[in-house]
Structure 1
Amino acid sequence: MNHTTPSDLIGIADVAAKIPKFISKVPHLLSGLKQAYLRTSNTPAGLGIAFEKAVRHNPHGTALLFEDQKFSYEALNEWANQIGHFYLSLGAQKGDVIAVMVENRPELIATVIALAKIGVTSALVNTSQSGKALTHSINLVKPIAVITGEECRAAVEEVRQDLELAADRFHWFADQATQVDAGTAPQGWTNLAEKADQFPKFNTPTTHTIQGKDGLFYIYTSGTTGLPKAVIFTHSRWTLAYGTYGHVLDLKPDDVMYCTLPLYHATGIVVCWCGVIASSATFALRRKYSTSAFWKDVKKFDASAIGYVGELCRYLMDAPPSELEKGHRVTKMIGNGMRPNIWDKFKERFGIEEVLELYASSEGNVGFSNVFNFDNTVGFSPTPYAIIEFDKESNQPVRDAKGWCKKVKKGEVGLLVGKITRRSPFDGYTDPEKNKSVIMKDVFKHGDAFFNTGDLVRDIGFRHAQFVDRLGDTFRWKGENVSTTEVENVVSEYEKIAEAVVYGVEIPHTNGRAGMAAITLNEGVELTAQDLKQMASEFKKCLPAYAVPVFLRVQAQVETTGTFKYQKNKLKEQAFDPDKTDERLLVLLPNATEYCDLTAEIFNNIQAYQYRF
């Protein structure tokens, strides 16, 4: 939990003190806000229009850097146009969906721009998915084609027969600079680089027909059923992010934003990139985050801004000091999850002046942005919202005698809800039932409607908030949302385990929550040394690395409520402390290949931050 001090609370005087530095951003910000708030669902809007505008502003400026590759705005635009014209030739039209499974590299960026311009929604598949989850993610959005990088082809091949796609709609990019050498496609795959190269480079005629209500991306979030949910991200929502976050960042054309975050998540593809497009600046990509390469890349690309999630900040703080971490151009960073306990230290150590912490969710209608550059806050929200009293025991908002919800006082924690209005619509999920479950009606008066974010935040005044905790069936670990149900399903499949309850627990000095499973064994069996090795191996095989439970608790029986819901509150509270339970506790230590018993000594070492989880 984040703890606030009286000094964290914000008043008029604090904001007034920030105004002089803020003034220089105002013209750029007003231009962005105008675009954000004049948009309607029927006006031409979105990524394609904004990108073409950036091309006009800075045609010969560098749009993209990756490894030793470099693309000007004009060149990247022409490449995207060729891909767009190819899909138009296949009959692709506005409203169609194409699943895209390519790691962070130029081919992904060119494809996303191309599809945005022709009104086709890119379903941004998590590149670490495989098996059932991958089949579900692709079939869920009914795509007309799938675009796969060679680096992800094996995972798609494995489920190919289960995908509802025509045999000639499997499109492929070689794992190399395909603009230089398109490579040779494997049997059964169409070489997209080769095909697109035969098409014209002028802008597709469709860009200005794309309206705010049209789909830009599907972004996948953890589903409570254990399978991912696809959230639609419209061009209108992108324009809102572009007009707000993009212009708050206030980059200049010679700025370089270094992004190591996966582009199948909104923080990378929306937040980091829209600030670059808003300023016709440069986007420098790395395929996957690496602590040892981070400051080397910053120097190589001459980066002046970085995208982050909380976990990334912690990795950089944990790394031994290096001469490369000083003397660079980076003064700004944008992202979410920066923990208050490292905020000041991070700025000081790495010479950062502005931390543009923000709050948003792929599906939500409420956003915060740290426009005034205060410390320890997700920032200010111009969107209509409320922070209401919430009872964690009953898992329900508190209502008064008349049935209305109650707003918390300044300095207090409550549930964040976003008011649903014409200007702040709720775009929602692909599943209408899921939409119903997150909309609260009659909150403060008859007929009103609010989106329940499922997040607890603290009201620190002047429309600013601090993120505190996430409720519900997902928790965040390693910058990813973990679905408790998905993990429960995998853990329960182990032959000796009858039942599993999964929840997130806090480890000191880490971000988010590590996975813990309370397991009940089949009658008459015990876990052997062989099981401790086999369980680790099977969980790692069936789950992404971030979802593998770090802790196991062996229970005689699982406690449930009268409605058969698991009693997770008590389990979370006891966590992995051997003094709080006499049941067997197991831990998968960093880089270990098997679970071991969690002794008092190991517990104390975890508390003392002797292990880097």
Structure 2
Amino acid sequence: MNTDAIEQSADSLRPRAKPSAAKSWLKAIELTSRIEANPSRLFADVVEDWAARQPDRAALISQAETFSYRTLAERINRYARWALAAGIEPGDTVCLLLPSRPDYIAAWLGISKVGGVAALINTRLVGLSLSHCINVADADHVILAGDLAGVFETALPYLNRAPKIWIHGRGGEASIDPMLDGIDGSPLSPAERRAVTISDRALLIYTSGTTGLPKAASVSHRRILNWGGWFAGLTNASPEDRLYDCLPLFHSVGGIVAPCSMLTAGASVVLAEKFSASQFWSDIVRWDCTLFQYIGELCRYLLKAPVSELENRHRLRLACGNGLRGDIWEAFQARFAIPRILEFYAATEGNFSLYNVEGRPGAIGRIPPLLAHRFPAAIVRLDAELGVPVRAENGLCIPCARGEIGEAIGRIGTADDGGGRFEGYTDKDETEKKILRDVLAPGDAWFRTGDLMRLDESGFFHFVDRVGDTFRWKGENVATSEVNEAILDGPDVIDATTYGVEIPGADGRAGMAAIVAGDRFDLTEFRNHLSRRLPAYAHPVFVRISAALETTETFKQKKQQLSREGFDPRLVTDPLFLRDPESGVYLPIGAADYARIVDGRVRL
């Protein structure tokens, strides 16, 4: 889209959005519209351009090291030449198992600049899970942090083949550091660049593995540039900005969206190796940050943390992320004096995104009419029990009405033909599972997000739950996310997760909540609180009081093991309780009680 078209389109955006929101959309459109014009221009070139314009400005900042734009550009070129010297051919994969520091970003930018593919490995994985990620990447090389060597050894017995190991941050024969230091960091020659284009695969980023082993999603250079451009525009980033990023660099938001949005704008990124609620505000003030990136429950953790004298003494102008639920949105924004929140919806492998540029509390975004061709989303009716879309007599899916909950899907294609690219996984079978065919017209194909949403009367999308997390009980659909929000608001509830469990002979699944409770937690108060928030059928039938709940590195709750253990006292050592169907009182469950429930003597 040319500049004239962008300016002419402003009027179609402004009636529904504040002027500042319209300006953000237009800036994002302008930045992303340039991508297709030069298919050989990669994200590493964006960094190199800024290095020529402002070589001494900080690009990546951390406790361990700081890279100026000049240093980052040179480091990228050193990694690129290292990859060439190591014999890494276009399409070959290098696994990165490194801490969240500036050199991590330099590594994947350099390797991908010459056609290599960087697989971003979760540093918390061990054994079979770690070997699985390396195996599906089909990698011949692994760059491994020296202090993670012991972790890597747990995966060795399960690897399909032994990759070449390059130790990072420690001396020795296999150390990569002296090699990099001895390599020229000047711009690459055309011959060194090879014929890499924006359509080529640059990264493998893994799904969180909340339901089974992680899948490796393919991410092209085009998508990296698009992510950087959209968020640079929508956040209205400038070289004067500093973004605080405490999310893992092996994750698409923490490792690509956050840093690439700022690097697109010539701004700075502060990288923290991990999130700490107690350290958060002192870091924000110390590094003089103007933005921060959030995900999942990070905001809820901050709200539950003790008051910090620094939590209002910052220069923040915006918080950007996904997963800020409506029940805490306004309290979070008010307590921490954050002028603007940019909530968005996206998936690493997804083919469309949503942006709540207007800051509507609880919404994940809307699609301005001008951009409908670039965000081809729809919501279709879903059979909650079977987990598949409902088909009409003509065999096509049924679009949901406004306010009706269904699965969000994105049309597969390109922006030119009214679709979005779906780049899939390394596993072709897993890729095919995510494609829904003959949806709204014979022969069309759509990406299944696996997310339940609804569209309100103003055109805003609202996230409801994951497909599979919503279950039927007493003939009603129960959304675990909505139940969990009510539970987390309960007196002295520190953390909670809600899921469905099967009961022999009963239709559907019964709700169960695992709760981390404080010293003053009282089940009677808990029951009374829920009665004011939820219909009776949505109250958890079972409650488990746990010392802690396991989550992924991005705060997604792991429910599989909890659901398998259910309410069986032989499998669960935590205290278990059953909501009495007559009185609503939560009563302890022992072995005899469990037997009575299972054989049907207790009618639920």
- Superposition TM-score, scaled by structure 2 size: 0.76
The one-character-per-residue Cα deviations of 1:518-563 (angstroms, maximum 9, x if unpaired) are 6xxxxxxxxxxxxxxxxxxxxxxxxxxxxxxxxxxxx8x7569xxx
> Within 5 Å, which residues of 2 pair with 1:188-587?
190-205=174-189, 206-207=192-193, 209-222=195-208, 226-381=212-367, 382=371, 383-423=375-415, 424-461=420-457, 463-472=459-468, 506=484, 508-509=487-488, 514=497, 569-571=508-510, 573-575=511-513, 586-587=544-545
Amino acid across the alignment from 1:171: W
2:396 is aligned with what amino acid?
W
Q: 1:373 to 1:32 in 2, by over 3 A?
A: farther
Could you give the per-residue CA deviations for residues 47-75 of structure 1, whole angstroms, max 9, x where no partner exists?
Answer: 22322233233222110110153221001
The one-letter code matched in structure 1 to 2:431 is N
Q: Which residue number in structure 2 is paired with residue 120 of structure 1?
A: 116
Per-residue CA deviations over 1:462-485 (Å, capped at 9, x if unaligned) read 65311111114899xxxxxxxxxx
Task: Tell me: CA distance 1:215–1:461, structure 2 relative to 1, closer, same or farther (3 Å).
Answer: farther
What's the CA shift for 1:16?
A: 2.6
CA, structure 1 residues 203+463, in 2 after alignment: closer, same or farther (shift >3 Å)?
A: farther
Q: Judging changes above 3 Å, is the alpha-carbon distance between structure 1 residues 373 and 430 closer, same or farther for their aligned structure 2 residues?
A: same
- Look up the equivalent residue of 1:184 and give its one-letter code: G
CA 1:57–1:459 in 2, change beyond 3 Å: closer, same or farther? farther
The residue aligned with 2:531 is: none
For 1:333, what is the secondary structure of its paired residue? strand
Q: Given that residues 243 and 270 in structure 2 are in contact (C-alpha distance below 8 angstroms), is that contact kept between their aligned partners in structure 1? A: yes
SS state at 2:344 partner: strand
Tell me the distance in 2 between the aligned counterparts of 1:585 and 1:600.
7
The change in CA–CA distance for 1:464 and 1:44 in structure 2 (over 3 A counts) is farther
Structure 2 letter corresponding to 1:363:
E
Match of 2:592 in 1: none
Aligned partner of 1:25 in structure 2 is 24
Are 1:184 and 2:171 an aligned pair? yes
Contact preservation (8 Å) 1:246, 1:271: no
Once residues 587 and 330 of structure 1 are traced to their aligned partners in structure 2, the CA distance between those partners, rounded to angstroms, is 38
1:142 aligns with 2:138: yes
CA contact (8 A) 1:103 1:149 kept: yes
Q: Which residue of 1 aligns with 2:591?
A: none
For the 8 Å contact 2:513–2:540, the answer to whether it is kept is no
1:391–1:241 Cα change, 3 Å: same
Distance 1:161 1:85 in 2: 31
| SS of equivalent to 1:341 | coil
**Structure 1 letter corresponding to 2:497:** A
Given that 2:296 and 2:323 are in contact with CA atoms closer than 8 Å, whether structure 1 keeps it comes out as yes
Deviates more, 1:438-447 or 1:504-513: 504-513
Q: 1 CA distance for matches of 2:316 and 2:540?
A: 50
CA distance 1:600–1:146, shift in 2 (3 Å): same
- Percent identity of paired positions between Structure 1 and Structure 2: 30
Work out the CA distance in 2 between the residues paired with 1:148 and 1:396.
41
1:33-54 Cα distance to aligned partner (Å, 9 max, x none): 3135x369xx224322322233
> Which deviates more, 455-464 or 313-322?
455-464
Q: Identify which range, 125-134 or 461-470, moves more after superposition.
A: 461-470
Per-residue deviation at 1:459?
Answer: 0.8
Q: Distance in 2 between matches of 1:193 and 1:118?
A: 19
- Other-structure match for 1:97: 93
Could you give the per-residue CA deviations for residues 495-521 of structure 1, whole angstroms, max 9, x where no partner exists? Answer: xxxxxxxx9983622899737696xxx
Structure 1 residues 197 and 208: CA distance shift in structure 2, 3 A: same
CA contact (8 A) 2:450 2:467 kept: yes
Q: What is the CA deviation profile of residues 290-310 of structure 1, one whole-angstrom value per residue up to 9, with x for unaligned ones? A: 011101111111111000013
Residue 566 of structure 2 is matched in structure 1 by none
Amino acid of the structure 1 residue aligned with 2:21: F
Please give the secondary structure, in 1, of the residue aligned with 2:18: helix
1:563-593 deviations in whole A, cap 9, x for unaligned?
xxxx7x513x35569999999864322399x
* Larger relative contact order, structure 1 or 2 (CA cutoff 8 Å, min sep 6): 1
Tell me: CA distance 1:239–1:16, structure 2 relative to 1, closer, same or farther (3 Å).
same
Is 1:83 aligned to residue 79 of structure 2?
A: yes
Structure 2 unaligned regions, length at least 5 = 1-10, 472-479, 516-522, 528-536, 551-571, 587-604
Are the equivalent residues in 2 in contact too, given 1:118–1:204 (CA < 8 A)?
A: no
1:66 aligns with 2:62: yes
The CA distance in 2 between the partners of 1:346 and 1:225, in whole Å, is 30
The answer to whether the 8 Å contact 1:39/1:212 transfers is no
| Closer/same/farther in 2, CA of residues 438 and 473 from structure 1, 3 Å limit | farther
Counterpart secondary structure, 2:56: coil
Gaps of 5+ in 1: 1-11, 175-182, 476-502, 519-554, 561-566, 606-613
Aligned residues: 505
Q: Which amino acid aligns with 2:413?
A: T
CA distance in 1, matches of 2:200, 2:270: 28
| Aligned CA distance change for structure 1 residues 246 and 595 (closer, same or farther; 3 Å) | farther
Taking the TM superposition and a 5 Å limit, the aligned residue runs for 1:588-599 are: 588-590=546-548, 595-599=573-577
Distance 1:440 1:326, change over 3 A: same
User: What residue is the counterpart of 2:474 in the other structure?
Assistant: none
